[in-house]
Structure 1
Amino acid sequence: MEMNYVDILGIPITRTDHQSMKRRLISHIEQDEKAFVVTANPEIVMEARKDARYMNSILTATYVTADGIGIVKASRILNNPLPERVTGYDLMIDFLRTSQERSYTIFLLGAEKEVLNTTVRNLEKHYPNIRIVGYHDGYFNMADKEESAYIVERIRTLSPDFIFVGLGVPRQENWVADHYHHFDRGVFLCVGGSFDVLAGVTKRAPISWQNCNLEWLYRLFQQPARWKRMVSLPHFAAHIYKEKVAKRK
């Protein structure tokens, strides 16, 4: 079935809700296909606008979902509303549960070694039947072709159903885009700093904060160094309103 998109400053955001996206990605697994999922927020959109390579990486994705509430609000301002947020973290958690039930296999790529080891231990504790077939930390040199080739070959050999990539922006999207053609199957889902949450290093915003669309503020309180990245938010809003005015004309 053909998917519709909403253009947000040059990024084609898939018009979908969480459950529909979940079902579609599982269908890729069941049909032995591959898919590349980018979960976009305003920071990602603005980064792509100033980095041509990153923009090209995102445009190679099978799906780009609205991870941030800013994307959903922007779609409403542009009179082409998206149904809801479809976050990488929530998709990952759903797929972990589904994998426990259906014996899907998982590969984890990203984070520091100790964080990743803790993530694996926690997942195996909370999901006793989960099948984590492999993992590799995110502290490798992407410019080192041999090291990337080793990781690619490991994933190809293990042939996991889900590959959760937590290398951070823009490394994770660039890495998948650069090597996606080597793979025949598997859902590659970019999940940012989700392994830190699973390992207990950082906490996700409580539901009450999420419901008030203040998850970004909660993360800023936890990681004050993120303020530089938050500067992109007013710039994103300004570009959205500028586009709205342009469309009216």
Structure 2
Amino acid sequence: MFKPPQMFSVLGIPVHVMSNYPGWLLECLQHSIGTHVVTLNAEMTMQAERNQALAQVIQNAELVIPDGAGVVLYLRWLFWQKVQRCPGIELSESLLQQIGQQQPDTKLFFYGGTPGVVAQAAEFWQQQIPKLNIVGTNSGYHTPEEEELLKQRLTELQPQLIFVGLGVPRQELWIAQNRHLCPQAIWIGVGGSFDIWSGIKTRAPAWLGNNNLEWLYRLYQEPWRWRRMLALPEFVVKAFIYRLTARGAI
């Protein structure tokens, strides 16, 4: 069996470091190993400090990737790791591309986003990679009765790769509560990826991402997020304290 990824701690929250996340997940698919993937950034780390349920879900996840620039810089600064940022949207896109080439029979399901958007996102990928086997979509807006029907669909379909775009922490908690429905699936919380794939929103220019400033572009697009962005300076302060006290190893 393949090696488990190396694990470090970011303010007490685990994060896994490896050179090939998509390849590792493709092996999980081949061996039918159920996996919850968490895309960790500074904001989620701060949320986990205040939300014990979220912290426990991240602790239990099989793969926690360094999605945010703050997490990456923390690992480089404290642990001297040559780690590269792995945005969740890029991991998901790489998986879809490789599945289309290597495992086109893999059953995919997209859940989340506003009505119509998730279907547009699925249609985009179906056009990009016609061989993809997208067996279903469902928006994140529904009644409790409709959610029960969604769970029945998942149980019947047994998709092997499930993207959940409900936002943090709702998507992480939902996955943890419902992954038993498809125990051999890979579940990934993809945040606002459906909006980007559907064309509703755009990603930051590459030069911003390369300079760890993608958060600034997101704030430009969604100025209402400014309160949430306060988690970033808080993260920096706590990281500095952890560095001085030499804490952080798992």
Alignment TM-score > 0.5, same fold: yes
Instruction: Give per-residue Cα distances to partners, 1:27-78, cap 9 Å, x unaligned.
Output: 1111122110000000000001001111112122111110001101011222
Question: Could you tell me which residue of structure 1 aligns to residue 21 of structure 2?
Answer: 21
Question: Could you tell me which residue of structure 1 aligns to residue 98 of structure 2?
Answer: 98
Equivalent-residue separation in structure 2 for 1:107 and 1:56 (angstroms)? 25
The one of 5, 10, 21 aligned to 1:3? 5
Question: Could you tell me which residue of structure 2 aligns to residue 69 of structure 1?
Answer: 69
* Equivalent residue letter for 2:115: K
Alignment map for 1:166-245 (pairs within 5 Å): 166-245=165-244
Cα distance, 1:10 vs. partner?
1.3
The one of 115, 133, 153 aligned to 1:131? 133
* Equivalent residue letter for 1:214: L
Cα distance, 1:193 vs. partner?
0.3
Aligned length, in residue pairs: 243
Equivalent-residue separation in structure 2 for 1:179 and 1:119 (angstroms)? 23
SS at match of 2:79: coil
Equivalent-residue separation in structure 2 for 1:137 and 1:113 (angstroms)? 5
Question: Could you tell me which residue of structure 2 aligns to residue 246 of structure 1?
Answer: 245
Do 2:160 and 2:182's aligned partners in 1 also have CA atoms closer than 8 Å?
no
Equivalent-residue separation in structure 2 for 1:82 and 1:64 (angstroms)? 17
Label 1:41 to 1:182 Cα distance change in 2 as closer, same or farther (>3 A).
same
In structure 1, list runs of 5 or more residues that go unmatched: none
Residues 1:53 and 2:45 aligned together: no
* Equivalent residue letter for 1:206: P
What is the TM-score normalised by the length of structure 1?
Answer: 0.92
Do 1:89 and 1:194's aligned partners in 2 also have CA atoms closer than 8 Å?
yes
Equivalent-residue separation in structure 2 for 1:5 and 1:46 (angstroms)? 19
Which has the higher mean CA deviation after the structures are superposed, 198-207 or 38-47?
198-207
SS at match of 1:39: strand
Equivalent-residue separation in structure 2 for 1:82 and 1:171 (angstroms)? 31
Equivalent-residue separation in structure 2 for 1:82 and 1:109 (angstroms)? 34
* Equivalent residue letter for 2:64: V
In structure 2, list runs of 5 or more residues that go unmatched: none
* Equivalent residue letter for 2:138: H
Cα distance, 1:117 vs. partner?
2.1
* Equivalent residue letter for 2:222: Q
Cα distance, 1:82 vs. partner?
5.3
Cα distance, 1:198 vs. partner?
0.3
Do 2:155 and 2:182's aligned partners in 1 also have CA atoms closer than 8 Å?
yes
Q: Give the root-mean-square deviation of aligned CA atoms.
A: 1.6
Cα distance, 1:199 vs. partner?
0.7
SS at match of 1:247: coil
Equivalent-residue separation in structure 1 for 2:154 and 2:181 (angstroms)? 10
* Equivalent residue letter for 2:94: D
Residues 1:164 and 2:163 aligned together: yes
What is the TM-score normalised by the length of structure 2?
Answer: 0.92
Equivalent-residue separation in structure 2 for 1:124 and 1:3 (angstroms)? 31
Instruction: Give per-residue Cα distances to partners, 1:147-190, cap 9 Å, x unaligned.
Output: 54432331222122210111100110000111223332111011
Equivalent-residue separation in structure 1 for 2:205 and 2:193 (angstroms)? 15
